[in-house]
Structure 1
Amino acid sequence: MTNIEYAAAPEVELEGASEERSDFERIRPLPRISIHAFCETDSLAKTLERCTEDRRMAKVHARINSGGVPAAASMYASSATPNLLILESRQDTEDLMGDLAQLAEVCDPDTRVVIVGHVNDVTLYRELIRNGISEYIVAPVSMADIIGVISTIFVDPDAEPLGRSIAFLGAKGGVGSSTLAHNCAWAISELFESETILADLDLPFGTANLDFNNDPAQGMAEAVFSPDRLDEVFLDRLLAKCSEHLSMLAAPSMLDRVYDFGGDAFLPVLDVIQRNAPVCVLDVPHLWTDWTRQLLSSVDEIVITATPDLANLRNTKNLFDTLAKLRPNDTPPLFVLNQVGIAKRPEIAVDVFCEPLGVEPVAILPFEPQIFGDAANSGLMIAEANARSPIAESISQLAHIVTGRSEVKKRKKSGLSGLMGLLGR
């Protein structure tokens, strides 16, 4: 038997690393509200335009106008005001308060107002707050400032937080993305004793029911085809229990009908799942449709799995480039290189594979058909079938990374060179 050394998973910090995540990434999606902005400077207008492209504002209807507080007062003399007004002003305190008084005469009482000023004055801030202004922020402002302020105003801090959504997608069919998703969901539920929902979105050919040796009568099909019935009670009926903390929305895995969906078909399901579990793992099939595109635009984290060949490299690069445009304010997807070291198969070296992507893999998993085959045929996870396997340890570390409990550190070149030397024999 060929002696292949396991690639060491990236070093991780398991303590306190979640605190290092950007506050911006933790901002929850905003509700369906209308926002009108009046800008006196191009810099603020450009920042607001970038905000409208962010996934956290996907449900927001925004309109950006030129001009300051007087322009707003003139417009709303003959039209209703939106849920939120963002007004930029370069005026001094006296003139600003006079213009706001005119705006107050035409502003609906439930409209919130945020002022972006150019004077750092505590007295002005207190005066504005005393007169009913929701917030005063000093220019220049960032996207995080704008969206953070809106979130503070419209997202209830006492409400239950939305669960973290993690989508697993294969760069090509057969790369092991589904197996990784199922094992990672199980690891999250076991390691952190956190309620986790695994959603198998491959309705005709999904394998989650096989991997967990569980074939429920209902599942994802009923959820996606009955959006009008979908609530917490209905979801609870559709979930199949896999372990103490893991539940599954299984795919029917039948071809008795076609599964054609609109662009937002799975978004209501995702919303309900996120309200009912701290972690949601989505097993996304290798497709590129309107619904997969919208779903990937909406989730918190994406994990792309690939194998080291040319087609996978091309597809992975295309996915990274496209997702960067769809999610311009999010970190790049996480990347797992799987099935490394198949005997006599020419492979692209790990460094060569990663160079055009500009990212390091969070895990490099060797080709071990015995371990994966035994687990799959027994309806077990890798850690259940072989807890001491280095692959089980890599999946455990991946579970820490995708849930924000650890951070990815750069791979050591010495370990890579040793692996590549073995693979080259």
Structure 2
Amino acid sequence: MAIADAAPRATAPAMPERVALLAFATDDETEATLRAGLSDTVEAMPVRRGGIRAAIRALERERTPRVLVVDLCGEGDPIGALDALAAVCEPDVTLLVTGEQSDIGFYRDLTRDLGVAEYLHKPLTRESVARVFGPRVAGMAEAPAHRGSRIVTVCGVRGGVGATTIAVNLALQVAETTHGHVGLLDLHLRGGTAAMMLGLRCSAGLRVALENPDRVDALFLERASVLASDRLRLLAADEPPEAEIAPKPEGVTRLLDLLRARCSIVVVDLPYPPGPMERQVLSLARQRVLVLGPDLAGARDLVAARKLLAGLQGNGPVLTVLNRAGAPGTLPLNMMQEGLGGLPDVVVPDLPKQLPRAANLGRPALHDSAALRKALAPLALEVGGTRPHAASRSWLGRLRERIGR
């Protein structure tokens, strides 16, 4: 019996139902007016007590509703709070906001530049809630406007450098640090190991999606993917070596569109060298991560990979990860720096015990290796966008930056 078959398989948590509407109100008057104004639109108006910070805390643990109403009253940094809320929300949420500021500039900032669907200043009236919020709530069963999300590709400059290990653990760390919804797409259709590293089994859904894009919708994605955690969704394949896979050009585009509507960040583990489908994904990526080993071949292949990416459409930055630094018989960091013309963006040390053991057990190495978590932290910050001054950016700023990517 193979080690992978003998290893215990994690049970994926069941996906909770997504509620249509949820509101947060800071006071009795706001709650009563929201209920009265929307009484003709919805039978039951779920309202929780608290402002936007209460919404952030709740949505770190729960699924995002299709329509979310939040109250900015008493919030000293509304833009920063809205930015923090964006990090924990699914990108397709329709956000309705109420607050105390009544100037037209604030309204325009929220609705034109910051991705908020509608804003109402207090005092609220039943008529204003029904007129402004009512149509948005009434149409909540319809698909909201697609805001898109950030696509991040991870590929090795040659086989066997540990790119899948980096992709899996990066996706986990971003999901944990941002509390956002992260998708992990493994495009190694034959012999991919992302699912194995997470202790999960994948279905035939990915191949179907790539070959028959007309059959793919949000429900298909829900059934074809598997939850690695409450914030990380995996879509992978396990096709036999003899499988003749014929993905259509629009297959991966359709799939990414659905993932982007579902997840704030989509990490794609790509095989190398890239074929037509992989090049298509690389041109859509907001950030492109190249993984190399600490040897002369790694330095040479990185130069070639950078040249290849420069010839593709899209201008996403290229981030380099030097994996297994310090492994016996490899080049030291100073020699790699000389060969690369500078230090790589991220250096992951050689972890000869933790990584193979974690892979064989089907348990993410990130959970047991503090060294790996520390090494990936700068990359997770870069990908997740959770930098110290992120609050100075707009609500849904990260999501709006991703439009068109």
Give SS of 2:214's match: coil
Question: Does residue 251 of structure 1 match 2:237?
Answer: yes
Question: Does residue 268 of structure 1 match 2:249?
Answer: no
CA distance in 2, matches of 1:398, 1:284: 17
Aligned counterpart, 1:200: 186
Partner amino acid for 2:384? Answer: T
How much identity, in percent, do the aligned residues show? 28
Unaligned runs of 5+ in 2: 1-79, 81-111, 118-144, 389-405
CA distance in 2, matches of 1:314, 1:184: 25
Report the structure number with the largest CA radius of gyration: 1
Q: How does 1:268-417 map to 2 (within 5 A)?
A: 268-327=254-313, 329-331=315-317, 333-343=318-328, 345-347=329-331, 349-355=332-338, 357=340, 360-386=343-369, 389-406=370-387
Partner amino acid for 1:192? Answer: T
CA drift of 1:263 comes to 4.7
**TM-score by structure 2 length?**
0.57
Give SS of 1:288's match: coil
CA drift of 1:275 comes to 1.4
CA drift of 1:362 comes to 2.3
Aligned counterpart, 2:91: none
Contact map agreement 2:325 2:348 (CA 8 A) in 1: yes
**TM-score by structure 1 length?**
0.54
Give SS of 1:179's match: helix
CA drift of 1:364 comes to 1.1
Give SS of 1:287's match: coil
Contact map agreement 1:219 1:252 (CA 8 A) in 2: no
Contact map agreement 1:306 1:338 (CA 8 A) in 2: yes
Q: Deviations over 1:208-252 (max 9, x none)?
A: 121111113343212212200112121111111111111110212
Contact map agreement 1:168 1:181 (CA 8 A) in 2: yes
CA RMSD of aligned residues (A): 2.6
CA drift of 1:179 comes to 0.7
The count of residues paired between Structure 1 and Structure 2 equals 251
Aligned counterpart, 1:14: none
Distance 1:240 1:358, change over 3 A: same
Partner amino acid for 1:398? Answer: L
Aligned counterpart, 2:63: none
CA drift of 1:338 comes to 0.6
CA distance in 2, matches of 1:334, 1:354: 15
Contact map agreement 1:262 1:290 (CA 8 A) in 2: no
CA distance in 1, matches of 2:240, 2:177: 33
Partner amino acid for 2:383? Answer: V
Distance 1:209 1:295, change over 3 A: same
Q: Deviations over 1:51-102 (max 9, x none)?
A: xxxxxxxxxxxxxxxxxxxxxxxxxxxxxxxxxxxxxxxxxxxxxxxxxxxx
Give SS of 2:353's match: helix
